[in-house]
Amino acid sequence: MAPLNSRRVAYVTGGSRGIGQAVVRALAAANHHVVAVARNREKLDQLVGELTAAGLGVEPAALDVADSTALTASIEKVIAEHGRLDVLVNNAGITRDGLFLRMEDKDFDDVINTNLRAAFVACRAAARAMIRARWGRIINIASVSGITGNAGQVNYSASKAGLIGLTKSIARELAGKQVTANCVAPGFTVTDMTEPLPPRIKDEVREIIPLRRFGTPREIADAVAFLAGDAAGYITGQVIVVDGGMSM
C-alpha cells in the first residue's frame, strides 16, 4: 500500500451500504485513502476490516450527518490528521415517503436536514482544504426524483432538487480555485431501499426504463470514481444522470 501522503483522501457519507459502500470500494481500489462515514459502526467496521485486509486504505467515521457539529468536527479532524482532503462524496440520504397533504412537518424536515443541509455543511467544511490545495472534487449524489419529481416523495424530491442547485452554485464559486462540483443522479438502483418494493411495482418500473433493468451500485460508483479523477478536471456544475435512459 502506498504511503498515505502520496494518496488522495476521500470522505464518503452513507458509506456502509448500497451506493455509498460501492463508492468506498471504487475509490479505495483507485488508490484513494477513504474515510467511510455512516451511523452504523458495526457495518462500518465490517467493511473497513474487509478492505484493509485486502491492502486498501479505508478508515471508519461513525456519526449522524444530520448533526452539523459532529459532521464538521469529523471533516476537520480528517484534514488535521491527513493534511489534506481531496474528494468529498455526499451520499447519505433518507426517505420519509408519503402524500404531501398528509406529510408531517418532521418528515419533511428530517429528509431536508439529512439529504440537503448535511451536504451543505460537509461542502463548507471540506472546501477550505481544497481551496488551499487548488485541487478538489465535490460529488453530490442526487436523484432523477430531483429532476422529474415523484409522487409521494415531495420531501425527497425537494432535497435532491435542492442538492442540484447547491452543487451548481458551489461549482461557480469554487471554479477559480480549480475545485469542481458535480452531481450524479441515479435512477432506480438495486439497493436495500428498493429491494422491499413489491414485484409488481418493480415490473412496472422496468417497463418505463429503456434498458429494462435497474442499475447497480457499482454503476453509480463508477460514475463517481470518474468525476473524482484527473480525467474529469474540465467537468463542473453538471448532473450526470445514471438511470438507464428513464428520464430522457
Residue that is written with C-alpha cell 411495482 in the block: 201
Give the model's pLDDT for residue 198.
Answer: 87
Q: Using DSSP, state whether 152 is helix, strand or coil.
A: coil
Give the model's pLDDT for residue 5.
Answer: 61
N-term to C-term CA, the chain: 42
State the pTM of this model.
0.96
| Consecutive 10-residue averages of pLDDT for the chain (248 residues) | 72 98 98 98 97 98 98 98 98 96 98 98 98 98 96 96 98 98 96 83 93 97 98 98 95
Structural domain spans, the chain: 4-242
156 as an active site residue: the answer is: yes
Q: Give the C-alpha distances (Å, rounded to integers) separating 215 from 123, 160, 210.
A: 27, 18, 12
CATH code assigned to 4-242: 3.40.50.720
**Helix orientation angle between 68-82 and 118-133, rounded to the nearest 10 degrees:** 20
Region label for 14, one of left (φ > 0), alpha (ψ between -120 and 50) or beta (otherwise)? left
Q: How far apart are CA 33 and CA 55, in angstroms?
A: 11
β-bridge pairing 179-186 and 136-141: parallel
Give the model's pLDDT for residue 2.
Answer: 46
Give the model's pLDDT for residue 1.
Answer: 46
Q: How far apart are CA 56 and CA 48, in angstroms?
A: 9
| Catalytic residue selected from 135, 156, 188, 214 | 156
Nearest Cα neighbor of 66 from 111, 99, 97 is 111
